[in-house]
Amino acid sequence: FMSSPDQHPPATNHQNYGTFGNQGSKHCSRLRQVQALLRDDVNTAPDGILCSLGIDSRYNEGCSELASYLFCGLYKHSHFDMEQIPDDFPEEVLDDVIILIKAESVHLYCNPVNYGYLLPYVSHWRNLQLHCLTETEYEDEEVAEEFKISSFVSMVQDCRCLGIPYSSHGHVQKFDMFMLEKWPIIQAFALEGIGAGVFFTMKYKLTDVSQRLWQVYSRLDPVSLDCLLKEDLQLFERQWSCLFSSMEIESALSMQELSEAQVAEVKSRQPFVLFGSHSTKEDLENYCFTFPSEGHQVRNTGPGGGVAKHMLLQCVAPKGPLACARTYFFGSTHVPYLAMHEQHSRTVESIPEL
């Protein structure tokens, strides 16, 4: 299947596509990671994972999170990537998507408008069955709605147990069958004539697969590595730069008055700052991230209660897996031996930015 994103879907309603080339390997790898959950234990794994976006799932965040993973950030909890999608693009049109992932195949319902945006991500998926009307057919709202319902019924007809990505990682919710029954697409399933004529939750066993999917999302892959280098790492570097910028404006005397709490304010979640003699393993194990010490200052944490010679820092990125711990020394850490001088002085330098 060769096409460009600005082309319209074929005139037939249902099409099967295989794998074409290697350009979409990173998109395929994410799909395979999800499909692996269905192969781990064939006796306990669901027959498929159902993901419905937008109003059809009452804007379920778990479904949006799965779609964002599969489509590499195109969907982010119902907030779309506006670098790829125009500001005036109708939200209800873009999130008119239903996905059923099986161990060896995928069903995708979409419309001829959002099809072009999804195509770069799905064109290399193995055994993809696409459910999509032509533009002419889609103009009739009644025809379009009936086609969506019949496509949904067709997707799940061979299943007995379905996994639902009910919760997002940042908003855990109790799996509630009653709330699932309120999803418009689930309610439409029971319609006579168009739908299957039976209640969805009576016909299928449903299970929450959110936690197992979170483990998949946390794995480093080519897509997340690219995001890590282009976004998270740059933000992380700015945090360190901000820290040193704030300390460079301090004079030698005022720096001695800095406390661990003051330095920790510059950084983000789970930082620690330990000065001098207050940086032992025991101090680190007992460190309070919520309330860093005000009493431990540069001037009183050195040998014998004097000025500290070093500090230990950790910074954790607000988003993503990046963390870094470093030891920094206050100025020169030794007094060089110069034979031609009987006396030599030691200068206190500002902390170098590494």
Tell whether 303 is covered by a domain: yes
- Using DSSP's 3-state secondary structure scheme, residue 323 falls into strand
pLDDT of residue 339: 59
> 210 with 272, same domain?
no
> 206 with 265, same domain?
no
> 262 with 204, same domain?
no
Where b means 16+ CB within 10 Å and e means fewer, 22-34 reads eebebbbebbebb
Identify the DSSP state of 88. Answer: T
Selection from 312, 194, 324, 213 nearest residue 260 by Cα: 312
Tell whether 344 is covered by a domain: no
Long-range contacts of 72-77 (CB under 8 A, 24+ apart): 72/26, 72/27, 72/30, 72/121, 72/223, 73/227, 74/117, 74/118, 74/121, 77/168
Tell whether 351 is covered by a domain: no
> 189 with 282, same domain?
no
Please give the mean pLDDT across all residues of the chain.
80
Residue partners of 347: CB distance under 8 A and separation at least 6: 331, 332
Rounded Cα gap, residues 337 and 1, in angstroms? 75
Share of the chain residues as helix, strand and coil, in percent rounded to the nearest 5: 35, 15, 45
Given 201, 219, 237, the domain boundary residue is 219
Question: DSSP letters along 97-129, please?
Answer: -EEEEESS-EEEE--TTTHHHHHHHHTT-TTEE
CB atoms within 10 A of CB 50: 29
pLDDT of residue 77: 43
Encode pLDDT of 94-131 as tens digits: 999 999 999 999 999 999 999 999 999 999 999 999 99
The alpha helices in 162-229, defined as continuous H runs, are 177-180, 184-189, 200-203, 210-217, 222-227
Tell whether 291 is covered by a domain: yes
Rounded Cα gap, residues 10 and 7, in angstroms? 9
Residues 299-315, mean pLDDT to the nearest whole number: 82
Encode pLDDT of 42-96 as tens digits: 678 999 999 999 999 999 999 999 999 999 888 764 444 445 666 667 888 999 9
Torsion of CA 39, 41, 45, 49, to 10 degrees: -20
Identify the DSSP state of 48. Answer: E
> 207 with 72, same domain?
yes
Tell whether 342 is covered by a domain: no
> 199 with 275, same domain?
no
Q: Which residue's entry shows tokens 């309603």?
A: 13
Backbone angles phi, psi at 334, to 5 degrees: -150, 165
> 182 with 268, same domain?
no
Give the count of domains, the chain. 2
Q: By residue range, what is the domain housing residue 279? A: 253-329
Instruction: Pull the structure tokens for residue 288.
Output: 């309070």
- Using DSSP's 3-state secondary structure scheme, residue 281 falls into helix
Tell whether 196 is covered by a domain: yes
Instruction: Pull the structure tokens for residue 217.
Output: 């999302």
> 164 with 68, same domain?
yes
> 193 with 269, same domain?
no
Tell whether 231 is covered by a domain: no
Would you say residue 200 has pLDDT above 60?
Answer: yes
Q: 166 or 21, which is more confident? A: 166
Tell whether 146 is covered by a domain: yes
